[in-house]
Amino acid sequence: MSEPLRLSKRMSELGLCSRREADEWIERGWVRVDGVVVSTLGSKVLPEQKITVERQASNEQARRVTILINKPVGFVSGQAEDGYRPAVSLISSRTRWKLDRSPTQFQPNQLRNLVPAGRLDIDSVGLLVLTQDGRIAKHLIGETSDVDKEYLVRVQYHKPGRLPESDLQLLNHGLTMDGKPLKEAKVYWQNEDQLSFTLREGKKRQIRRMCEAVGLRVVGLKRVRIGKVTLGDLPTGEWRYLAADESF
């Protein structure tokens, strides 16, 4: 027998929206199960039941924006903390990249419910995604996300000589963190003092901690790609919209 699931969870599993969005739509009467409107939060459905949403929900979702910003040092990814400004405070019509090809017009209300889909440390720079779309947030940072992220990492080696090949291989696979083995990474030298890291997970300060484990000190870290979306020529401190034909 199939077990009933919470309607909002099932909608998220199907990729219709995030759980938070699902609850909003349910309360507004925008969700139907087998053709019948369901407006009670906490309602449950069977996996085989058909879930549809009203056009109002689809229209609202289509208006939600996703913004790519080249975060500078000194800004936090999310809420303001310890006196540091959040990256969202950089977004205005004045700081929009002049070469942004999206036809979307900037509106201050686009800043409402704009949340980071992944973090960058305060002392790290590069590509940061801010989105109003729960589907994108789940795709990038959900428990089942397998979107890879690429970083350029400038390092200094604490020991005499050069990092042994065996330690480079350890960065690729074999390290543990917080008591759990890390997923396999792709790490290689770009030049004599810079490594390229490609990860499929994002533990707190993961790259810095990985480097410390093999005697490397990180002196600069820049995220240059998330999935198929690259930082490209986006200037530091400026932003652009995710284009309609772009996908992570």
CATH of the domain at 216: 3.30.70.1560
Task: State how far the alpha carbon of 145 is from the alpha carbons of 19, 136, 181, in Å.
Answer: 16, 10, 17
Q: Is 123 a catalytic residue?
A: no
Domain boundary among 46, 62, 78: 62
**Whole-number Cα distances in Å, 215 to 53, 80, 124, 202:** 53, 32, 20, 21
CA angle in degrees (0–180, nearest 5) for 152-153-157: 150
What's the pLDDT at 81?
74
pLDDT value at residue 48: 92
Q: How many domains does the chain fold into?
A: 3
Q: What is the DSSP string of 144-175?
A: T----EEEEEEEEESSSS---HHHHHHHHTT-
162 and 213: one domain?
yes
Q: Which residues contact 134 (CB under 8 A, 6 or more apart)?
A: 12, 17, 18, 19, 20, 21
Phi and psi based region of residue 161 (left: phi greater than 0; alpha: psi -120 to 50; beta: remaining) = left
CATH code for the domain in which residue 41 is found: 3.10.290.10
- pLDDT given at position 138: 83
Please provide residue 109's backbone torsions phi and psi, each rounded to the nearest 5 degrees.
-70, -10
75 and 53 housed in the same domain: no
CB 240 within 8 A of CB 67: yes
Distances (CA, A) of 47 to 8, 20, 139, 212: 12, 20, 21, 46
Residue 106's domain comprises 65-137
217, 161: one domain = yes
45 located within any domain: yes
Rounded to the nearest 10°, the torsion over CA 72, 66, 152, 95 is: -30
Residues 154 and 211 in one domain: yes
pLDDT score, position 1:
55
Give the residues across from 96 on adjacent strands: 239
Instruction: End-to-end CA distance of the chain: give it in Å, rounded.
Output: 36
Q: Are 132 and 153 part of one and the same domain?
A: no
- In this structure, what token pair is assigned to residue 2? 């199939």
Same domain, 33 and 99: no
Same domain, 176 and 163: yes
Is residue 158 located within the same domain as residue 221? Answer: yes
Going from the first residue of the chain to its last (248 residues), give the mean pLDDT of each consecutive group of 10, the final group possibly shorter.
86 84 92 94 93 87 89 89 88 97 92 89 96 87 85 94 95 94 96 95 92 96 97 97 91
Residue 241 lies in a domain: no
Report how far residue 65's alpha carbon sits from residue 115's, in angstroms, rounded to the nearest whole number: 11
Measured in degrees and rounded to the nearest 5, phi and psi for residue 219 equal -110, -5
149: β partners: 199, 226
234, part of any domain: no
How does DSSP classify residue 110?
G
Active site residue: 121, 133, 146, 148, which one?
A: 121
CATH of the domain at 121: 3.30.70.580
> Is 177 among the domain residues?
yes
- Predicted local distance difference test score (pLDDT) of residue 20: 83
